[in-house]
Amino acid sequence: MEHQVYVPAPSARLRDALADPERVARAVPGLQQDAGAAPGTGRLKVRIGSHSITYRGALRVSARDDGSYAVDADATEARGTGEVRLALVLRLADADEGCEVTVTGTASVGGRAAELPAEAVEPAAARLLSRFVEGLGEAAPEAPAGPAPTVFETEVPPPSLAPGPAEPVEPVEVPIEEPLPEIFAEAAHARRTMIGRSAEEVDHAPPRGRYAPVPAPQTVASNPALRWAAPAAALALASAIVVTRALRRRR
């Protein structure tokens, strides 16, 4: 195979990345490195057409005498017996404000990837190589971990205002408020009358003034004893009249 990739970064940055196994591993798109293993060892999911194949293997980069770099990789399917082996050579050449990387080499594919059509495998391989080379130009070295600066090493900014004589403070005139309207006068009177009373009396005290509730009209209920007193008086009066008339006739 032969593939060319243009990277908008100087060739010195790519050479520094290829010399660092950690940066090479970070440049592989989608590589999940195994904890405690050598850099570049882990799992990689490759998308070929509508199929996804996960490989487990290792990637190694070594410098050659002619200034190029050899890339060797071998992996096996995580769920199968198919194997993939790569033997690539990377040559770097300075270009306009960047670097042009030429990738040549051979690849042997077995298993599920060998059963897929070449029209789907070749674009997937070219896309993976392009992203890998571009990642080399973007991979930056990790910042060395050092002790955090203490409070005494932190720079203190100078004061923004220089000390000077204190300026006299001008008095502020507070305008006299107008007399309260009648509605506020009633509220002030209600507060004055509640001073000295308990909290329960104040909370349950009925409102006064114009906000006092209108009492319901009282209905006059007749005494039930009067309903028996009136007929008794009328009967006594009638009896007296009858007795009087009887005595007059006897005379």
Residue with tokens 């007059």: 248
Instruction: For residue 137, name the pLDDT band (cuts at 50, 70, 90).
Output: confident
Instruction: Give the model confidence (pLDDT) of 56-108 as tens digits.
Output: 999 999 999 999 999 999 999 998 888 999 999 999 999 888 999 999 999 89
The yes-or-no verdict on residue 181 having pLDDT over 60 is no
- Identify the bridge partners of residue 210 per DSSP, sorted by sequence position: none
| pLDDT at position 226 | 53
- Identify the bridge partners of residue 48 per DSSP, sorted by sequence position: 51
The yes-or-no verdict on residue 204 having pLDDT over 70 is no
Please choose, from the candidates 73, 76, 80, the residue with its C-alpha nearest in 3D space to the C-alpha of residue 103: 73
The yes-or-no verdict on residue 199 having pLDDT over 60 is no
| pLDDT at position 105 | 92
Cα distance between residue 50 and residue 141, in whole Å: 35
The yes-or-no verdict on residue 198 having pLDDT over 60 is no
The yes-or-no verdict on residue 135 having pLDDT over 80 is yes
- Looking at per-residue pLDDT, the higher value among 59 and 206 belongs to 59
Strand ranges for the chain from DSSP E: 2-7, 32-33, 41-48, 51-63, 69-77, 83-95, 98-109
Rounded average pLDDT over 206-233: 61
Instruction: For residue 236, name the pLDDT band (cuts at 50, 70, 90).
Output: confident
Is residue 184 helix, strand or coil?
A: helix
Q: Cβ(130)–Cβ(5) under 8 Å?
A: yes
Instruction: Give the model confidence (pLDDT) of 16-39 as tens digits.
Output: 999 999 999 999 998 998 888 888
The yes-or-no verdict on residue 161 having pLDDT over 70 is no
Rounded average pLDDT over 127-140: 86
Question: Tokens for 177?
Answer: 């408020």
Which residue pairs, CB below 8 angstroms and at least 24 apart, start in 208-212?
210/183, 210/186
**For the whole prediction, is pTM greater than 0.85?**
no
Question: Tokens for 47?
Answer: 């998308």
